[in-house]
Each structure stands twice: as structure tokens, then as C-alpha cells.
Chains A and B, each alone.
Chain A
Amino acid sequence: MVRFSGELLVDDDGQLVVKMPLSAMNPELFEIGLVEILEEFINRRVRVEVLPLEPRYERRDG
């Protein structure tokens, strides 16, 4: 299973990439191609569900 979240973008080469951190310990964001993220599932049946993700924490007032 793979689960990821981030900003979905089209890079300079026209490829879909997701801008996201590589680990919870490192907040730096990287653009990762969907092919790279999903390559272990190529040629398998998969379920893909994509939903918009909206941060609410900026509005937290404690």
C-alpha cells in the first residue's frame, strides 16, 4: 500500500508530480513523479481515490 498527500503539479516536462515531504522528520518538499510513487503497482489492478485536501490548522486559535 502507498498513501501520500501533497500538491499535485505538472512539471516542466509535462509530467504529473506531487510536491510533498519525503519523511515526517524532514519538512523539505520535493517534487516526486507519479510514476516513481506508483511504480511497484504497475501491471496490477489498483484502487485510486483522489480527494482535495484542505489545511485547517492555520485557522486554529487554540
Chain B
Amino acid sequence: MCPVRVGVIGIGGRANHLASVLMHDEERRGDIVAICDVNEAALERGRKTVERVMGHGVATFTDYQALLESPDVDMVIVGTPDHLHHEMALAALGAGKHLFLEKPVGTNLDQMHDIVTAAKDSGKLMEIGYVLRYSPFYIEAKKMIDSGELGRPLFAQMLEQYYGGAPVFFRGWWRFRKNVGGIMVQKICHDMDLWYWLFGRPRQVVAFTSSMEFKPGNWDSTAARCSECDNHCPYYTTPNRARNHSDECLYNTDKTGADIADNAQVLVQFESGLNLSMGMNFFNSRGQDDRFLRIVGSEGEITGRLGEQVLRFDPRHDATLNKTVLYECAPGGLGGHGGGDEIQILEFLQGILEGREAKAGRESAYWSSILVMGAQLSADTGRVIQIKDLVEKYPFPG
């Protein structure tokens, strides 16, 4: 079977990683034939990498439209900043390409609806970078729900703590809300896709965001950048312009223009009646960096950390703990997002070869966005958002 001919638009961290997985796939389901970036140094690094690893040349572009015009490209990976997703996704689908779109699905509901509609109308396959569905940790949790092992899901709590997110999200393009649509849209759309997958359709959502740590006054400095600062904080860094590695102050957001929140709490009620709460923050202790899960079912309770790939199961009515078991979901050494990064892109390629959608296609794109953008709307307006209102305004295109 001929490999899928892949074009990569936006050679940043995420797309680079996906490309690397694809290039090292022993089954060779994909072949990178074209790459595009406005950063010519990154483009040149990408060209050399493809030539070294895949053993052939690659077409390079600084204009993504030119890449899309190439008849040699079957599928594109769009890994550009979030505010470009809408424009590029529509162009890619309009050009008749299968699409792997990094999350989120645009930065607002209008954009999401355009993208999902375009995917349906194009007849091409689309996959959103919701990698958590592909992590063995969550796959096992879903199996325990679907098999009845956990009983009826009754209650759920999730937490994401991301120490390393602070320097990422308060430097570079992520720090501007207009680029990401809000911290929840950018950061926990992953998780909301997961909840839809596990618990079905949501009924209502309420959320709160704030800036608790990364704001002026919480570090004794007035500098806009590390290179101008004489009181280095633990996030001190040196800039590397060639790699877009900047050194904006995480604290002095009045100087850097950062206007995103550094924490959020969300409460969702699903149509089943299940209530789920989730928190996320960027200021946790490093030793507590992870995604945490707790699902209480009618037959027992599972808890665990994504990074450990272990689910603890406590049977509901056993007080002795003698029946408590740790379920190991995967052997050690998994990669990003609990192994999801590696598995997803290859499953999408396999789906293209077999003419079928992978796991995070149009339906996933739609419902996760309805939920996360509803949560963002709640945080912005202070209202409880009824999901049916959003569905009426933005019906699922199919």
C-alpha cells in the first residue's frame, strides 16, 4: 500500500513531534513530501531532517497556499498557532486534502462550526489533535466504564497541573488571548474531548478563571524581560531568537501584554446527570505535575495519574483494601500525553489508508468545542451555559 503523502504546515514543537513519529514509523504509513513555515531557519532544519531520516528530498514552502496547491500532497498537518487554524483548515479541506488539525478547532464557536461543516462537505477525513483518547491510561478507563466493571459512572473529578506551562503560556504567542480564544479553549479542550468520550453529551457547564500567580507584584522586579531583570526568578531564561525562544517576564504581564488566565475550575453536568469538576493551573509544585483522574462508579472507583499509566481500582463496598488493585495500563517509557502523541498520528494515517475516520474526527471536534467554548463563555460572562442553547445556534453538521 502506498504511504499517505503528507505536507506539514507550521514546523513548531507539536508538528515537529508528529512528523518525527511519522518518519520513524516502521510500517511507513506516511511520507513527508512537503513542509511549510514562515521561519526560513526552521524550514531549513526541517528539510535537512526529512532528507536525513527519510532519505529523500522534500518540497519547501513559505506560503501554505502554495503547498496546498501541490497535487502530490494527500494530507496536511496544520500545526500553526491557534488563531490560524480556521483559515488554514478551511483552505486545506477546500483543496481536497485530508486534515490533521492541532487543537483547538478554531478559537471560537463560529470558527469551529465552519471547520466541522467544511470537513463534512469536503468528504475528506479530519482528525483533531485530541491525543488523550489514544493514551492507554484513558483507554483502560473507558474500557472499565464500557464493560460495566466500574458500574454506572456517578461522579468524576479531574485535575491538570502543568508547571512547565507557565513559561510556555506566558511567553510567545500563547500569552495573547486573541491568539488562543482563552486558556480553557487552548489548554483543556483535550480534557473536554475526553469527557465527552467517557460520559456522553453535556447538559450544562459553568467555569471560572483568574490570574493568581502570574501577575505584577508577585515577584520583586519591574522588568519586561529576563534579559533586563536583575532579580532572577525560578523561571529565568536566556532568549534564543533563532528558535523563537523568548524571555518575557511571566509576572509583569502589564509589560508583556499577556492577558490569559493562569488557572481555571470547570463544573459540567452531563445528560446522564453525572457531575464532573476539573481544575487546571500553571503554578503547581513540579513534583505534582500531571493529569489526575478520579471516576466514581456504582461498582467501584478508579484513580490515577496519566504520567504513571496506573489506574487504582477500589471496589465500592470493600473496606479492607484487600481487593484494591493497581492496573498497569502500559509498559514504561511512554511518550507525550501518556503515549497518545505517538499513537494518534499513526492511527489517523491508517484510517486514511483504509478510508475511515479515526477517533477524534468531526463528532469529537464538535462536542469538545461546544463544551470547552461553552465553559469559556461561562467564565467570560459569569453565567451557567446551557449546552442546548449552543447546539441550537451551532447544530452539528453531521
Which A residues fall within an 8 A CB radius of B?
A: 5, 21, 24-25, 27, 51-57, 60, 62
Chain A residue numbers with a CB within 8 Å of B140 are: 56, 60
Interface residues on chain B, size class = 10 to 19
Q: A60-B136, A60-B139 are in contact. Are A54 and B326 (CB under 8 A)?
A: yes
B328 touches A54 (CB 8 A): yes
Check B326–A51 contact: CB distance below 8 A.
Answer: yes
Contact assessment for A53 and B328 in the assembled complex, using a CB-CB cutoff below 8 Å? yes
Q: Give the 4 A-B CB pairs with smallest separation, nearest first.
A: A24-B333, A53-B326, A55-B328, A24-B332
Contact (A21, B332) CB under 8 Å given A53-B310, A56-B140:
yes
B223 at the interface (CB under 8 A from A): no
Min CB distance B140 to A, Å, is 5
Query: How many angstroms between the C-alpha atoms of A15 and B224 in the bound complex?
Result: 59
Interface check B324, CB cutoff 8 A: yes
Q: Contact between B325 and A54 (Cβ–Cβ < 8 Å)? A: yes
Interface residues of B (CB under 8 A from A): 136, 139-140, 143, 310, 312, 324-333, 347
Residue on A nearest B321 in the bound complex, by CB = A51
Chain A residues whose CB sits within 8 angstroms of the CB of B327 once the complex forms: 53-56
Instruction: Tell me how far the C-beta of A55 lies from the nearest C-beta in chain B, rounded to whole angstroms.
Output: 5
**Which A residues are in CB contact (< 8 Å) with B328?**
5, 53-57
Set of chain B residues within 8 Å of A5, measured between Cβ atoms: 310, 326, 328
Nearest CB on B from A51, distance (A): 5
A54 CA to B143 CA in the complex, in Å? Answer: 15
Residues of B within 8 A of A55 (CB): 327-328, 331
Q: Hey, which chain A residues are within 8 Å of B325, CB to CB?
A: 51-54
